[in-house]
Copies of this chain bind each other. A is one copy, B any other.
Amino acid sequence: MRHFLTTQDYSRPEIESLLDAAAELKRAPCQPLLANRSIALVFFNPSLRTRTSFDVGIRQLGGHAVVLEPGKGAWPISFDALEDHPVMEGDEEEHVAEVARVLSRYCDLIAVRAFPKFKSWEVDRLDLVIRAFARYATVPVINLETITHPCQELALALTLREKLGRLDGRKFLLTWTYHPRPLNTAVANSAALIASKLGMDVTLLCPTEEYRLDERYLAAAQQNAADNGRTFTVTHDIAAAYRGADMVYAKSWGALPYFGRWDAEKPIREAHRHFMVDRAKMDLTPDAYFSHCLPVRRNVKVSDEVIDSPRSLVIDEAENRLHVQKAVMTYLLGQR
Protein backbone atom coordinates (compact mmCIF):
# COMPACT_ATOMS: atom_id res chain seq x y z
CA MET A 1 0.00 0.00 0.00
CA ARG A 2 1.31 3.41 -0.98
CA HIS A 3 0.36 6.95 0.09
CA PHE A 4 0.57 10.12 -2.00
CA LEU A 5 1.99 12.57 0.52
CA THR A 6 4.75 14.19 -1.52
CA THR A 7 6.11 13.72 -5.02
CA GLN A 8 9.53 13.18 -3.44
CA ASP A 9 8.35 9.66 -2.54
CA TYR A 10 7.95 8.97 -6.27
CA SER A 11 10.66 8.54 -8.89
CA ARG A 12 10.71 10.66 -12.03
CA PRO A 13 9.48 7.72 -14.15
CA GLU A 14 6.64 7.15 -11.71
CA ILE A 15 5.65 10.80 -11.93
CA GLU A 16 5.86 10.70 -15.74
CA SER A 17 3.66 7.63 -15.71
CA LEU A 18 1.06 9.38 -13.55
CA LEU A 19 1.08 12.27 -16.02
CA ASP A 20 0.59 9.86 -18.93
CA ALA A 21 -2.38 8.35 -17.13
CA ALA A 22 -3.78 11.82 -16.47
CA ALA A 23 -3.49 12.74 -20.15
CA GLU A 24 -5.40 9.58 -21.03
CA LEU A 25 -8.11 10.34 -18.47
CA LYS A 26 -8.38 13.83 -19.92
CA ARG A 27 -9.23 12.27 -23.27
CA ALA A 28 -11.68 9.72 -21.79
CA PRO A 29 -12.92 11.25 -18.54
CA CYS A 30 -15.77 8.85 -17.67
CA GLN A 31 -14.67 5.29 -16.89
CA PRO A 32 -15.87 3.06 -14.02
CA LEU A 33 -12.39 2.72 -12.49
CA LEU A 34 -13.61 3.65 -9.01
CA ALA A 35 -16.95 1.83 -9.13
CA ASN A 36 -18.15 0.90 -5.65
CA ARG A 37 -15.28 2.87 -4.12
CA SER A 38 -15.72 5.61 -1.53
CA ILE A 39 -13.20 8.35 -0.87
CA ALA A 40 -13.16 10.52 2.27
CA LEU A 41 -12.17 14.14 1.61
CA VAL A 42 -11.17 15.61 4.97
CA PHE A 43 -10.90 19.41 4.95
CA PHE A 44 -9.41 21.23 7.91
CA ASN A 45 -9.29 24.36 5.68
CA PRO A 46 -11.38 25.94 2.93
CA SER A 47 -11.34 24.71 -0.62
CA LEU A 48 -13.00 25.43 -3.95
CA ARG A 49 -10.96 23.75 -6.67
CA THR A 50 -9.68 20.83 -4.64
CA ARG A 51 -13.08 19.91 -3.36
CA THR A 52 -14.88 20.34 -6.67
CA SER A 53 -12.26 18.63 -8.77
CA PHE A 54 -11.99 15.62 -6.46
CA ASP A 55 -15.76 15.34 -6.08
CA VAL A 56 -16.38 15.55 -9.83
CA GLY A 57 -13.41 13.37 -10.74
CA ILE A 58 -14.41 10.63 -8.31
CA ARG A 59 -17.92 10.65 -9.70
CA GLN A 60 -16.69 10.52 -13.29
CA LEU A 61 -14.90 7.31 -12.34
CA GLY A 62 -18.03 5.84 -10.76
CA GLY A 63 -16.90 6.38 -7.17
CA HIS A 64 -18.34 8.31 -4.26
CA ALA A 65 -16.83 11.22 -2.31
CA VAL A 66 -17.67 11.99 1.32
CA VAL A 67 -16.70 15.52 2.35
CA LEU A 68 -15.85 15.93 6.05
CA GLU A 69 -14.93 19.11 7.91
CA PRO A 70 -13.61 18.24 11.40
CA GLY A 71 -14.47 20.91 13.94
CA LYS A 72 -17.41 22.06 11.84
CA GLY A 73 -19.69 19.19 10.87
CA ALA A 74 -17.47 16.59 12.56
CA TRP A 75 -15.82 16.29 16.00
CA PRO A 76 -12.50 18.07 16.73
CA ILE A 77 -9.55 15.69 16.53
CA SER A 78 -6.40 15.28 18.65
CA PHE A 79 -3.04 14.67 16.96
CA ASP A 80 -0.94 14.25 20.11
CA ALA A 81 1.61 11.44 19.85
CA LEU A 82 0.17 8.22 21.25
CA GLU A 83 3.62 7.32 22.57
CA ASP A 84 3.12 10.11 25.12
CA HIS A 85 -0.17 8.59 26.28
CA PRO A 86 -1.96 11.95 26.15
CA VAL A 87 -4.74 12.47 28.67
CA MET A 88 -7.39 13.94 26.38
CA GLU A 89 -8.95 16.62 28.54
CA GLY A 90 -8.85 19.46 26.01
CA ASP A 91 -11.31 20.38 23.27
CA GLU A 92 -10.61 17.35 21.11
CA GLU A 93 -13.22 14.61 21.39
CA GLU A 94 -11.24 11.87 19.68
CA HIS A 95 -7.79 10.89 18.48
CA VAL A 96 -6.69 10.68 14.87
CA ALA A 97 -5.87 7.01 15.49
CA GLU A 98 -9.58 6.22 15.81
CA VAL A 99 -10.61 8.61 13.03
CA ALA A 100 -8.14 7.17 10.54
CA ARG A 101 -8.93 3.58 11.46
CA VAL A 102 -12.69 4.05 11.28
CA LEU A 103 -12.57 5.98 8.00
CA SER A 104 -10.42 3.16 6.63
CA ARG A 105 -13.29 0.78 7.30
CA TYR A 106 -15.78 2.98 5.46
CA CYS A 107 -13.65 4.31 2.62
CA ASP A 108 -11.03 3.11 0.15
CA LEU A 109 -8.96 6.29 0.23
CA ILE A 110 -8.56 9.17 2.69
CA ALA A 111 -7.57 12.57 1.34
CA VAL A 112 -6.61 15.31 3.80
CA ARG A 113 -6.15 19.07 3.63
CA ALA A 114 -4.37 20.47 6.70
CA PHE A 115 -2.67 23.83 6.40
CA PRO A 116 0.05 24.94 8.85
CA LYS A 117 -1.13 26.54 12.09
CA PHE A 118 1.23 29.47 11.41
CA LYS A 119 2.49 29.67 14.98
CA SER A 120 5.73 27.70 14.88
CA TRP A 121 7.41 26.55 11.69
CA GLU A 122 9.40 24.01 13.71
CA VAL A 123 6.07 22.35 14.51
CA ASP A 124 4.34 22.92 11.18
CA ARG A 125 7.25 21.52 9.19
CA LEU A 126 6.68 18.14 10.86
CA ASP A 127 3.40 17.88 8.90
CA LEU A 128 1.88 16.04 11.85
CA VAL A 129 -1.72 15.87 10.69
CA ILE A 130 -1.25 14.09 7.39
CA ARG A 131 1.61 11.99 8.79
CA ALA A 132 -0.74 10.81 11.56
CA PHE A 133 -3.46 9.93 9.07
CA ALA A 134 -0.93 8.01 7.01
CA ARG A 135 0.34 6.21 10.09
CA TYR A 136 -3.01 4.99 11.37
CA ALA A 137 -5.02 4.60 8.18
CA THR A 138 -5.17 1.14 6.65
CA VAL A 139 -5.99 2.62 3.23
CA PRO A 140 -3.92 5.02 1.10
CA VAL A 141 -3.79 8.68 2.13
CA ILE A 142 -3.63 11.60 -0.32
CA ASN A 143 -2.26 15.06 0.47
CA LEU A 144 -4.76 17.82 -0.46
CA GLU A 145 -2.24 20.48 0.65
CA THR A 146 -0.36 20.64 3.90
CA ILE A 147 3.17 22.05 3.71
CA THR A 148 3.41 20.78 0.15
CA HIS A 149 0.69 20.43 -2.47
CA PRO A 150 1.57 17.45 -4.65
CA CYS A 151 -1.76 17.38 -6.55
CA GLN A 152 -1.09 20.95 -7.63
CA GLU A 153 2.41 19.87 -8.69
CA LEU A 154 1.02 17.26 -11.03
CA ALA A 155 -1.51 19.72 -12.45
CA LEU A 156 1.27 22.20 -13.09
CA ALA A 157 3.44 19.49 -14.64
CA LEU A 158 0.69 18.27 -16.97
CA THR A 159 0.00 21.86 -18.07
CA LEU A 160 3.70 22.44 -18.74
CA ARG A 161 3.95 19.26 -20.77
CA GLU A 162 0.91 20.26 -22.81
CA LYS A 163 2.44 23.64 -23.65
CA LEU A 164 6.18 23.00 -23.72
CA GLY A 165 6.40 19.32 -24.62
CA ARG A 166 9.62 17.87 -23.27
CA LEU A 167 10.60 19.88 -20.18
CA ASP A 168 14.30 19.07 -19.90
CA GLY A 169 16.37 22.20 -20.01
CA ARG A 170 13.41 24.59 -20.14
CA LYS A 171 13.65 27.56 -17.77
CA PHE A 172 11.19 27.66 -14.87
CA LEU A 173 10.96 30.84 -12.82
CA LEU A 174 9.25 30.59 -9.45
CA THR A 175 8.67 34.13 -8.24
CA TRP A 176 7.53 35.32 -4.83
CA THR A 177 4.84 37.98 -4.95
CA TYR A 178 3.28 40.28 -2.42
CA HIS A 179 0.02 39.36 -0.61
CA PRO A 180 -1.55 41.29 2.29
CA ARG A 181 -1.31 38.24 4.55
CA PRO A 182 1.52 35.75 5.13
CA LEU A 183 0.64 32.63 3.17
CA ASN A 184 1.59 28.98 3.24
CA THR A 185 4.83 27.99 1.50
CA ALA A 186 3.28 24.72 0.29
CA VAL A 187 2.78 25.59 -3.37
CA ALA A 188 6.17 27.27 -3.58
CA ASN A 189 7.87 24.21 -2.08
CA SER A 190 5.93 22.04 -4.47
CA ALA A 191 6.67 24.08 -7.58
CA ALA A 192 10.40 23.94 -6.80
CA LEU A 193 10.22 20.17 -6.28
CA ILE A 194 8.30 19.25 -9.42
CA ALA A 195 10.00 21.61 -11.86
CA SER A 196 13.41 20.40 -10.74
CA LYS A 197 12.31 16.77 -10.76
CA LEU A 198 11.14 17.00 -14.34
CA GLY A 199 14.44 18.33 -15.64
CA MET A 200 13.84 22.06 -15.80
CA ASP A 201 16.39 24.71 -14.90
CA VAL A 202 14.75 26.34 -11.91
CA THR A 203 15.21 29.86 -10.58
CA LEU A 204 13.65 30.88 -7.28
CA LEU A 205 13.18 34.66 -7.16
CA CYS A 206 12.41 36.17 -3.76
CA PRO A 207 12.89 39.63 -2.24
CA THR A 208 15.50 38.83 0.41
CA GLU A 209 17.32 35.90 1.97
CA GLU A 210 14.58 35.78 4.59
CA TYR A 211 12.13 34.56 1.95
CA ARG A 212 14.17 31.46 1.13
CA LEU A 213 12.08 28.33 1.40
CA ASP A 214 12.76 25.70 4.05
CA GLU A 215 16.18 24.13 3.59
CA ARG A 216 14.55 20.68 3.25
CA TYR A 217 12.88 21.72 0.00
CA LEU A 218 15.78 23.78 -1.30
CA ALA A 219 18.07 20.78 -0.80
CA ALA A 220 15.59 18.40 -2.41
CA ALA A 221 15.15 20.68 -5.41
CA GLN A 222 18.92 21.05 -5.66
CA GLN A 223 19.28 17.27 -5.62
CA ASN A 224 16.54 16.84 -8.21
CA ALA A 225 18.28 19.34 -10.46
CA ALA A 226 21.64 17.61 -9.97
CA ASP A 227 20.06 14.22 -10.78
CA ASN A 228 18.90 15.67 -14.09
CA GLY A 229 22.11 17.55 -14.78
CA ARG A 230 20.25 20.84 -14.40
CA THR A 231 20.48 23.91 -12.18
CA PHE A 232 18.57 25.25 -9.23
CA THR A 233 19.31 28.89 -8.36
CA VAL A 234 18.06 31.39 -5.78
CA THR A 235 18.16 35.07 -6.71
CA HIS A 236 16.78 38.45 -5.63
CA ASP A 237 17.42 40.09 -9.02
CA ILE A 238 14.10 40.47 -10.78
CA ALA A 239 15.37 41.32 -14.24
CA ALA A 240 17.98 38.58 -14.27
CA ALA A 241 15.42 36.05 -13.11
CA TYR A 242 12.84 36.82 -15.78
CA ARG A 243 15.34 36.91 -18.62
CA GLY A 244 15.19 33.65 -20.54
CA ALA A 245 12.30 32.17 -18.58
CA ASP A 246 9.97 29.81 -20.47
CA MET A 247 7.51 29.73 -17.59
CA VAL A 248 6.79 32.23 -14.83
CA TYR A 249 5.06 30.73 -11.81
CA ALA A 250 3.90 33.15 -9.11
CA LYS A 251 3.21 32.51 -5.44
CA SER A 252 3.25 34.51 -2.25
CA TRP A 253 4.46 33.19 1.09
CA GLY A 254 5.43 34.40 4.54
CA ALA A 255 9.11 34.61 5.51
CA LEU A 256 10.04 31.63 7.66
CA PRO A 257 12.33 33.54 10.09
CA TYR A 258 9.29 35.62 11.05
CA PHE A 259 6.90 32.65 11.27
CA GLY A 260 4.27 33.41 13.88
CA ARG A 261 5.65 36.95 14.35
CA TRP A 262 3.97 38.35 11.30
CA ASP A 263 3.83 41.94 12.49
CA ALA A 264 7.60 42.05 12.27
CA GLU A 265 7.57 40.65 8.74
CA LYS A 266 4.83 42.94 7.45
CA PRO A 267 7.06 45.98 6.65
CA ILE A 268 9.44 43.78 4.65
CA ARG A 269 6.60 42.33 2.63
CA GLU A 270 5.10 45.77 2.09
CA ALA A 271 8.43 47.00 0.72
CA HIS A 272 8.26 44.39 -2.07
CA ARG A 273 4.89 45.00 -3.67
CA HIS A 274 6.78 45.59 -6.91
CA PHE A 275 7.33 41.83 -7.24
CA MET A 276 3.84 41.63 -8.78
CA VAL A 277 3.97 39.90 -12.16
CA ASP A 278 3.19 42.52 -14.80
CA ARG A 279 3.60 43.18 -18.49
CA ALA A 280 6.97 44.92 -18.09
CA LYS A 281 8.48 41.92 -16.33
CA MET A 282 6.94 39.44 -18.75
CA ASP A 283 8.43 41.45 -21.61
CA LEU A 284 11.87 40.50 -20.30
CA THR A 285 11.12 36.86 -21.18
CA PRO A 286 11.01 35.17 -24.60
CA ASP A 287 7.16 35.20 -24.44
CA ALA A 288 6.99 33.00 -21.31
CA TYR A 289 3.86 31.31 -20.10
CA PHE A 290 2.41 32.48 -16.80
CA SER A 291 0.59 30.51 -14.15
CA HIS A 292 -0.52 30.53 -10.54
CA CYS A 293 -2.28 27.88 -8.47
CA LEU A 294 -5.35 29.99 -7.59
CA PRO A 295 -6.93 31.58 -5.65
CA VAL A 296 -5.10 34.68 -6.89
CA ARG A 297 -5.58 38.35 -6.01
CA ARG A 298 -5.62 40.37 -9.19
CA ASN A 299 -3.40 43.45 -9.43
CA VAL A 300 -1.69 42.37 -6.21
CA LYS A 301 0.09 39.21 -7.30
CA VAL A 302 -0.43 39.58 -11.03
CA SER A 303 -1.77 42.34 -13.26
CA ASP A 304 -5.02 41.85 -15.16
CA GLU A 305 -3.06 42.21 -18.36
CA VAL A 306 -0.90 39.16 -17.61
CA ILE A 307 -3.51 36.86 -16.11
CA ASP A 308 -5.96 37.62 -18.94
CA SER A 309 -3.35 37.18 -21.68
CA PRO A 310 -3.25 34.18 -24.02
CA ARG A 311 -0.04 33.02 -22.30
CA SER A 312 -1.81 32.67 -18.94
CA LEU A 313 -2.33 29.02 -17.98
CA VAL A 314 -4.18 29.50 -14.70
CA ILE A 315 -7.48 28.02 -15.89
CA ASP A 316 -5.80 25.16 -17.74
CA GLU A 317 -3.76 24.31 -14.66
CA ALA A 318 -6.89 24.38 -12.49
CA GLU A 319 -8.67 22.09 -14.93
CA ASN A 320 -5.77 19.68 -14.90
CA ARG A 321 -6.26 19.16 -11.17
CA LEU A 322 -9.24 17.05 -12.20
CA HIS A 323 -7.26 14.80 -14.51
CA VAL A 324 -4.13 14.28 -12.44
CA GLN A 325 -6.06 13.50 -9.28
CA LYS A 326 -8.02 10.82 -11.07
CA ALA A 327 -4.69 9.33 -12.15
CA VAL A 328 -3.41 9.37 -8.56
CA MET A 329 -6.54 7.74 -7.13
CA THR A 330 -6.67 4.97 -9.71
CA TYR A 331 -2.95 4.35 -9.26
CA LEU A 332 -3.21 4.10 -5.46
CA LEU A 333 -6.12 1.67 -5.76
CA GLY A 334 -4.30 -0.44 -8.32
CA GLN A 335 -6.81 0.28 -11.06
CA ARG A 336 -4.13 0.95 -13.67
**A interface residue numbers (CB < 8 A to B):** 29-30, 36, 38, 40, 43, 46-49, 51-53, 55-56, 59-60, 64, 66-70, 72-75, 78, 82, 85-89, 92-95, 98-99, 101-103, 105-107, 180, 294-300, 303-304, 308, 314-315, 318-319, 322
Which residues of the partner chain B approach A299 to less than 8 Å between Cβ atoms? 85-88
Contacts of A70 in B (CB 8 A): 48
Q: Given A95-B298, A98-B294, A322-B106, check contact A73 B86 (CB 8 Å).
A: no
A232 to B53 alpha-carbon distance, docked (Å): 47
Which of B51, B72, B315 is A68 in contact with, Cβ under 8 Å?
B51
Number of chain copies forming the complex: 3
Select from chain B the residue with minimum beta-carbon distance to A299: B87
Residues of B within 8 A of A103 (CB): 52
Whether A36 touches B30, Cβ cut-off 8 Å, given contacts A107-B56, A294-B98, is yes
CA–CA, A297 and B86, complex, Å:
9
6 A-B pairs closest in CB distance: A94-B295, A88-B297, A105-B319, A48-B74, A93-B295, A59-B64
Q: Is the CB of A98 within 8 A of B56?
A: no
Q: How far is the CA of A52 from the CA of B106 in the complex (A)?
A: 7
A89 vs B46: C-alpha distance when bound (angstroms):
19
